Amino acid sequence: MTIAEDKVVSLNYYLTGSKNSAAEELIEQTTNEHPFVFLFGFGGVLPDFENNLNGKKKGDKFDFKVSAENGYGKHDANYVVKLDRNIFEVDGKFDDARVKVGQDVEMNDADGNLLIGRVLSINDTNVEMDFNHPLADYELHFIGEVLDVRAATNEELAHGHVHGEHGHHH
């Protein structure tokens, strides 16, 4: 069976990345015991990632790169913001256990969407945060193998994600 829309794909890969033409560094590595499993064609992964896997079958090896522009984008200075320090108060006291320089903090925008920002600095009035994706500016390099391809179940298609082993469980 080949990788195509509505198929459940299991992969083992080694992901490295380079930022601004620097040397590649390890970002993530899966294993046969803990593969990456996803539903092809449902927008859960980068489009270029899917495009490079389309048509492959079990046992096929792959080695491809995804540019920063087609991956998680270029760093955008507009996503670095200074927020009023009082936003991070709990019961009138600054939450210094959760909000520390270098820490990722979950927040919600005005529409309730989840955002994750990295704390860059804290002063008496503001907390400066970077809401760019941590892999912004990275060219990604995937090397791996297709472990399995199967048809998605009707339930998986209705829910838009994989169920069962290595997938989502309800």
In tens, the pLDDT along 71-105 reads: 999 999 999 999 999 999 999 999 999 999 999 99
Provide the residue range defining the domain that includes 68. Answer: 7-72+135-159
At 23 the pLDDT is: 87
Phi, psi of 126, deg, nearest 5:
-135, 160
At 16 the pLDDT is: 96
Domain identity same for 23 and 60: yes
Domain identity same for 48 and 30: yes
Question: For residue 166, is pLDDT > 60?
Answer: no
Q: Nearest-CA neighbor of 22 among 77, 69, 70, 68?
A: 68
Residue 166 in any domain: the answer is no
At 169 the pLDDT is: 45
Domain identity same for 84 and 52: no
Percentage, residues of the chain above pLDDT 70: 96
> At which residue do the structure tokens 């108060």 appear?
89
Contact 89/96 with Cβ under 8 angstroms? no
Query: What is the rounded distance in angstroms from the CA atom of residue 170 to the CA atom of residue 164?
Result: 9
